[in-house]
Amino acid sequence: MKLQILLTLILQVALAESLRERYGYFGDTITLPSEADKTWTIASVVWSIFSNNTWIATFNKGVKNEQWTSRYKGRISLNTSSGDLTIRNLTTEDNMEYTVDLLNTVGQNSADKIKLTVRQRLQKPTIETVTSSSVKGGCWLFLRCLSADKDVNLSWQSEHSNVTVNTGQPDGNTSVLFTFLKTTQNCVNFTCTSSNKNENASSDITLKCDDQKPTPHPDSVQPRERNAVAFFLGGMLGGGLIAILLYFFGGKLFPSVENNVV
């Protein structure tokens, strides 16, 4: 029986703990709930931080003060009816535990702690045209997608069906797409999406064969191009690419594609 009570207590504590975490994004606004009983009329609220309980926002005897510290200056609002604290323009320095102490008009009090975690939003990935080469009836394209974020998955989406994607990311957050476009095709859209378990961010590029001018800085592009090709070949080795290339250099590139060119 005692054990059961103990377990129930532990469970309740665990549940309460899990409710007291809030996640916000850098630059966004978040409201930290006071968890005050909805039936209460609040007489006094104190929001504080750090182990020495530095006050950041208070309401007492009808007087609200949100200017106790400079770190939240102009960024916090205390709702005196709910006791909730709103923090605007979040920064990673706001990552910490917040304590709220409440007192209602009939003298009941409550205290709660909320852990706030501020995350950086995922950045849009960058798409580069690594290399392209025009051939009869179309062009080959190598696109590379890079992300500045760590631990993300990169994926390609396109309405164009003839796309080979190398999902391997040998040098970190990179994904390569290899495709053949017909000259008759107008503006094909390629999207690269960077995602983690919480969110995603996408960039896209629209290309057609005529667009494939060499990248402006041939000096810097040269090694990259070689790397990308080597990396792609590496990824595809054992697959059908060699066969395709042989076929291609044998002058018999995709007879069906050529047949379709008017």
Ligand X SMILES: *[C@@H]1O[C@H](CO)[C@@H](O)[C@H](O)[C@H]1NC(C)=O
Residues that bind ligand X (CB under 6 A): 50, 52, 54, 79, 81-82, 160-162, 182, 195, 199-200, 254, 256-257, 260
Residues 6+ apart with CB under 8 A from 110: 35, 36, 37, 101, 102
Count Cα neighbours of 202 within 13 Å in the Cβ-side half-sphere.
11
Between 4 and 161, CB nearer to ligand X: 161
Least distance to ligand X from the beta carbon of 77, Å? 7
Least distance to ligand X from the beta carbon of 231, Å? 24
Between 12 and 260, CB nearer to ligand X: 260
Least distance to ligand X from the beta carbon of 238, Å? 21
Distance CA 196, CA 152 (A): 5
Least distance to ligand X from the beta carbon of 49, Å? 8
Between 164 and 200, CB nearer to ligand X: 200
Answer for the pair 77, 85: CB distance below 8 angstroms, yes or no: yes
Least distance to ligand X from the beta carbon of 5, Å? 34
Residues 6+ apart with CB under 8 A from 252: none
Between 29 and 109, CB nearer to ligand X: 29
Between 131 and 155, CB nearer to ligand X: 155
Residues 6+ apart with CB under 8 A from 254: 137, 180
Least distance to ligand X from the beta carbon of 240, Å? 12
Query: 3-class secondary structure for 63-129?
Result: EEECCCCHHHCCCEEECCCCCCEEECCCCHHHCEEEEEEEEECCCCEEEEEEEEEEECCCCCCEEEE
Q: In the beta sheet, which residues pair with residue 116?
A: 22, 96
Between 221 and 257, CB nearer to ligand X: 257
